[in-house]
Amino acid sequence: MIVAIDGPSGAGKSSASKAVAAQLGFACLDTGAMYRSIAWRALRDGIALDDGDALGALARTEPIDFAPGEDGGPQRVFIGGDEVTRAIRTAQIDRSVSAVSAHPQVRAALVDQQRRIGRAGDYVVEGRDIGTAVFPDAQVKVFLTASNEERARRRVAQNEARGVGSTDFKAVLADIERRDAIDSSREASPLKVADDAVVIDSSSMSFDAVVAAICDLAGERKAGR
Ligand code: DC
């Protein structure tokens, strides 16, 4: 079974996905971390962010791997054997990743990897195009969103807790709005609500209520309703 959770950045997808996966006994796939890993390698290797062919070749040849977090910490991420768990959360990656993820060559390579991973078991998969492009047949599709200001507040709190990334509210809000515009207007698999997705606006919902709503949907679909 695939539970697809799409939505703009800062809507709470990561924490909701983790909690839903834990409750359902599913594994969790953070596809944003994959695009971030390609951006990290591009910056490290001096590959231009507008060179779609070179970035696509990188995405096809460098394996991205995940491992469980230590002591309840975030899931660990590796690209080509280098651990990038923290390095992909910096403000520099926040600024670069939308350009990287807009290239169809990069998307094709990562979508192949995502389908291979997701087909191996029951997964909660979070991203931007999971219900529309990666797993259009997903049994559960959720579009999780929240107001721009609420998303910026949450991203600042998350960066503070992680000790990495910007904690300046205005800068984070501007980055969120800039990324939304790029993610929604790109030609290749733009961020949009799948026709059959359930939209959850979490602006004034508690975290537990969001998790419960998604788990209820999964329970209904499992029961064939
Ligand atoms: O969810 P996130 O902030 O970690 O995502 C990082 C970037 O990757 C974001 O700018 C959009 C892009 N992305 C995408 O285009 N498709 C996905 N399935 C996941 C993320």
| pLDDT score recorded for residue 51 | 98
Ligand 1 midpoint to CA 223 (Å):
31
Look over the chain and give the mean of its residue pLDDT values, rounded to a whole number: 94
| pLDDT score recorded for residue 91 | 85
Q: Does 107 reside within a domain?
A: yes
| pLDDT score recorded for residue 225 | 65
Mutate which of 85, 128, 135 to test ligand 1's pocket (most atoms within 8 Å of Cβ)?
Answer: 128
For atom 2 of ligand 1, which residue has the closest CA? 32
Give the Å distances, CA to CA, from 30 to 55, 66, 77, 155, 204: 20, 9, 10, 16, 24
Residue 35 CA: which ligand 1 atom is closest?
A: 8
| pLDDT score recorded for residue 24 | 96
Ligand 1 midpoint to CA 204 (Å):
24
Residue 98 CA: which ligand 1 atom is closest?
A: 10
Q: Does 119 reside within a domain?
A: yes
Mean of pLDDT values over 130-152: 96
Instruction: Spell out which residues line ligand 1, taking CB within 6 angstroms.
Output: 9, 31-32, 35-36, 97-98, 101, 127-130, 179, 183
Supply the range of the domain harboring residue 90: 2-217
Whether residue 67 is predicted with pLDDT greater than 80 in this model: the reply is yes
What is the number of other CB atoms lying within 10 angstroms of the CB of residue 195? 9
Ligand 1 midpoint to CA 225 (Å):
31
For atom 11 of ligand 1, which residue has the closest CA? 98
Query: Tens digit of pLDDT for each residue in 150-197?
Result: 999 998 998 898 888 889 999 999 989 988 888 888 888 888 999 999
For atom 6 of ligand 1, which residue has the closest CA? 32
What is the number of other CB atoms lying within 10 angstroms of the CB of residue 169? 13
Query: How far is Cα 212 from Cα 215, in angstroms, rounded to an integer?
Result: 5
Q: What is the CATH classification number for the domain harbouring 9?
A: 3.40.50.300
Q: Does 146 reside within a domain?
A: yes
Residue 33 CA: which ligand 1 atom is closest?
A: 4
Query: Tens digit of pLDDT for each residue in 101-114?
Result: 999 999 999 999 99
Mean of pLDDT values over 62-90: 91
Mean of pLDDT values over 58-75: 90
| pLDDT score recorded for residue 217 | 96
Q: Does 175 reside within a domain?
A: yes
Q: Does 28 reside within a domain?
A: yes
Q: Does 74 reside within a domain?
A: yes
For atom 5 of ligand 1, which residue has the closest CA? 32
Query: pLDDT band for position 127 (50/70/90)?
Result: very high
Q: Where are the alpha helices (DSSP H) in the chain?
A: 13-24, 31-45, 52-61, 91-101, 104-118, 148-162, 169-185, 207-222
How would you classify the pairing of strands 2-6 and 140-145?
Answer: parallel
- Please state the φ and ψ torsions of residue 56, each to the nearest 5 degrees: -65, -40
| pLDDT score recorded for residue 70 | 84
Ligand 1 midpoint to CA 108 (Å):
14
Contact 176, 148 (CB under 8 A): yes
| pLDDT score recorded for residue 190 | 87
What is the number of other CB atoms lying within 10 angstroms of the CB of residue 202? 22
**In 3D, which of 160, 122, 162, 136 has the Cα closest to residue 27?**
122
Through-space distance between the first and last CA atoms of the chain, rounded to whole angstroms = 15
Mutate which of 5, 6, 15, 35 to test ligand 1's pocket (most atoms within 8 Å of Cβ)?
Answer: 35
Q: Does 162 reside within a domain?
A: yes
CA 101 to chain centre: 11
Contact 184, 190 (CB under 8 A): yes
Instruction: Count up the domains in the chain and report the number.
Output: 1
Q: Does 224 reside within a domain?
A: no
* Residue, of 31 and 204, whose pLDDT is higher: 31
Angle at 80 between CA 49 and CA 40, to 5 degrees: 30
| pLDDT score recorded for residue 188 | 86
| pLDDT score recorded for residue 69 | 87
